[in-house]
Structure formats: structure tokens, C-alpha cells
Amino acid sequence: MKNAMIWGAGGGIGHALSKQLMQSEWNVIGISRDSEKIESDVSHAITADVTNEFDVQNAVMSAGYEVDDIQLWIYAVGDIISQKSDALSSTDWQRIIGANLTGAFQTVHHSLPLMADDAHIVFLGAVSERLRLPGLSAYVAAKAGLESFAETLRKEQRKKRVTIVRPGAVATPFWDKVPLRLPKDAASPEKVAHRILEAHESGHSGVLDLL
């Protein structure tokens, strides 16, 4: 049985990925800030805050007791705020950078020893050049940094595949945090999850635009 690790398994896309992988008979380790909410949708549910390195280390250690290695590793954590730079607090800036970028580094850093040599690493990014709008500076900066990090990681981990997924609008509660209208053609989390798993099966590595 193949093993997948999903950070952010309680979110819209992370939850959809968990369910689809379980339906395909994968062994899914789901990690969320509230593991009780995902217990019925994953093989093993673990509680962790990705911005807390101690939590991350413990989560990976717990996963190591359940599986020998990970074939598919997904970072589906994110946060957003709509606040112009002159009103944005340092605390909120750090929170957005932490969830979208620092958390990605910490989780992959501690997970690498548990990954299979040919593991597929997937990050959920964003089409950041389309989001350079007033109030979204922290989010755009974090996602642009994440994309650069993923591209560099791919060069460092040459035996592994690294994909940065850049979806368009997705119909999740994420949109409730910004003063933008959800487009009528927004994708469902299930559709995005399906496309990600198609990319995994096809051997994809690099940037995956889902527009």
C-alpha cells in the first residue's frame, strides 16, 4: 500500500485529497490543527501547527511509527489576510508568512528523512502575479517565496519530483477572508484534488497551473 502525508488535511483541498486517496486505497497520514475533524477521512490523524517546529517534529515522529516511508507528500496549508501595508501589523505579516512559507519549509525539512527516494513533493501555491492587489501584500509575498523555494528544492532533491500547484479561484471558505467576489467559474476542491492526483500519476514535476 502506498503512503501519503497531507499537511492541512482539514482544509478544503487537503480534505478532498485525503478522501480521494483513501478511495484509491492509499494509506493517508493527515495532519491538521484539529485532528478530531479528520479522523474519519484518513488512516492516521495527527494534530500539529505547522508554524510550531516542535509540533512539526512530533508529527513526523508519530508518522514514522505508522509507515516506513512516504511516496506522496503534500503541503496544503495556507492563510490569507486583506490589509494594506500601512495598516498591516507585524503579527499578521508573520502569521501569513508562517502558514504559507515558513511552515512549508519546516514541514518538508523534517519530513525529508521519512520520504522515499523517489517521493513526489507537492506544494499548493497561487498565481501570485494575478493577486498583486491592494491588501494582499503578505499573501502574495509568501506565495511567491513558496514558488521559489519549491523550484530550488527540486534542484536540491534531484531524485524526487517537486510540484508547485497554482490553482485559480477555488470555492473554499478561504474566500471569506478577503473582500473579493468568488468567480462563477471557481473550481471545486474536489476538481483541484483530482487534477493534482492526475499529475502525480503522470509523473509531473515543476509548475502546474490549474486555470
What does pTM read for this prediction? Answer: 0.95
Say if residue 138 is exposed, middle or buried (CB neighbours under 10 Å; 0-12, 13-18, 19+).
Answer: buried
Buried residues in 59-79 as b, exposed as e (16+ CB within 10 A): bbebbeeebeebbbbbbbbbb
Crossing angle of helices 137-156 and 90-97, rounded to 10°: 30
Strand segments, DSSP code E, in the chain are 3-7, 27-32, 44-47, 70-75, 115-124, 161-167, 206-210
Question: Nearest 5°: CA angle at 115, between 121 and 18?
Answer: 60
pLDDT tens for the chain, 211 residues: list them: 899 999 999 999 999 999 999 999 999 999 999 989 999 999 999 999 999 999 999 999 999 999 999 999 999 999 999 999 999 999 999 999 999 999 999 999 999 999 999 999 999 998 866 778 888 999 999 999 999 999 999 999 999 999 999 998 787 877 778 777 777 888 899 999 999 999 999 999 999 999 7
The pLDDT, as a whole number, for residue 129 is 66
Give the Cα separation of 105 and 27 in Å (integer): 24
The pLDDT, as a whole number, for residue 127 is 82
CATH of 3-210 among 3.30.70.2740, 3.40.50.720, 3.90.1150.10, 3.20.20.140:
3.40.50.720
The pLDDT, as a whole number, for residue 174 is 76
The pLDDT, as a whole number, for residue 65 is 97
The pLDDT, as a whole number, for residue 186 is 82
Give the Cα separation of 101 and 149 in Å (integer): 9
The pLDDT, as a whole number, for residue 165 is 97
The pLDDT, as a whole number, for residue 139 is 93
- Which grid cell sits at 194? 483530482
Task: Decide if 82 contacts 136 (C-beta within 8 A).
Answer: yes
Nearest to 3 by CA among 66, 77, 75, 76: 66
Give the Cα separation of 127 and 15 in Å (integer): 21
